[in-house]
Copies of this chain bind each other. A is one copy, B any other.
């Protein structure tokens, strides 16, 4: 496995040379990557806490996957488009999505309230694998437009088994669509280890569809940045898709509803703790002197501020007005929806009159 894995930074924070992939970020860029990861983790941790306090319905934690998400997202150009699954809070952060949107979704106050066109960050997709086709179709459109834009589609190791993902590979390949399929192999699909989905490393799936695949150390933010950037450059040339498998680990539960002690050993988690993506970059920053204690302290402060903001957003988030149920189901109206909306309003009125509570 190791030989197949692109790595530019060891768990100890030492740089490694790779014959094909390289990045040379400035000190400021390195600090930027670190900051993104720290903020993503803080946002995530706060959300987990809020869920425990009953403020959110659910939260899928990204813990452990910060490098895969931040590295890949930082490889995107502003005009590029990202199609997430449901765990890509780090990508959302890099794309400048207001966390209120994610929080409202997992609070159960919306099903995804943001405008994909605003940050070129598309809606979360909870049904496994579906978004791979949307991303591919989007990329097919980009190709038709002759635009210098690339698309990245995120999905998990479990998702790789869905027919939709295979069909996305076929459409992407046949239409030379500028899409990077970015698979975060966090080694678990809820309780199922990757062996329940595949016998061979997932990146190899690509070759059978006629495009390149590569496996990158998903806990190495530099490698994720370098490999994703190269992949985006590759697809931009019009030569069709590329698959990147980020080999990483889901450190937490699948979601706050899950109990991983039912199905996996703490020892495995421990092993991966040693490969922590944030610690790894911090070691590099320290070793190479790109950031000092003050900088780290300031970042901690910034993270705390973000945590407070997240709490504040959730605690002050109003419930939506029930009438929104009937809105936006159609653009051009629908007689039945109009009728039901009117009846619903009248029914609500009747309680206001009668004083009988709903």
Partner of A210 from the list B161, B162, B198 (CB cut-off 8 Å) is B198
Quick check: is A195 within 8 A (CB to CB) of the other chain? yes
Is there contact, CB below 8 Å, between A200 and B209? yes
Q: Given the complex, which residues of B lie within 8 Å of A173, measured CB to CB?
A: 198-199
Q: How distant is A193 from chain B, measured CB to nearest CB, in Å? A: 11
Would A205 and B198 count as touching, CB distance under 8 A? Answer: no
Residues in B neighbouring A195, C-beta threshold 8 A: 174
Most buried by B among A199, A205, A206, A208: A208
Chain B, residue nearest A204 (CB): B208
Q: List 29 A-B contacts (CB under 8 A).
A: A161-B167, A162-B167, A163-B163, A163-B164, A163-B166, A165-B166, A166-B166, A166-B167, A170-B198, A173-B198, A174-B195, A174-B196, A174-B197, A174-B198, A174-B199, A198-B209, A199-B209, A199-B210, A199-B240, A200-B208, A200-B209, A200-B210, A204-B207, A205-B208, A205-B209, A206-B208, A207-B207, A207-B208, A208-B208
Chain B contacts for A83, CB-based, 8 A: none
Interface presence of A121 (CB below 8 A): no
- Taking CB atoms and an 8 Å cut-off, the chain A residues in 137-192 that contact chain B are 161-167, 170, 173-174
* Copies of this chain in its oligomeric complex: 2
- Judged by a CB distance under 8 angstroms, whether A59 is at the interface is no
Q: Is A247 an interface residue (CB 8 A)?
A: no
A166 — which chain B residues lie within 8 A by C-beta? 163, 165-167
Dominant secondary structure of chain A at its interface with chain B: helix
List the B side residues contacting A210 at CB < 8 Å: 198-200
**Other contacts beyond A166-B166, A166-B167, A208-B208: 6, CB < 8 A:** A163-B163, A163-B166, A163-B167, A173-B198, A173-B199, A206-B208
Contact B209 A197 (CB under 8 A): no
- Chain B contacts of A199 at CB under 8 A? 173-174, 209-211, 240
The distance in angstroms between the C-alpha atoms of A132 and B225, with both chains bound, is 39
A197 CA / B208 CA spacing, docked (Å): 12
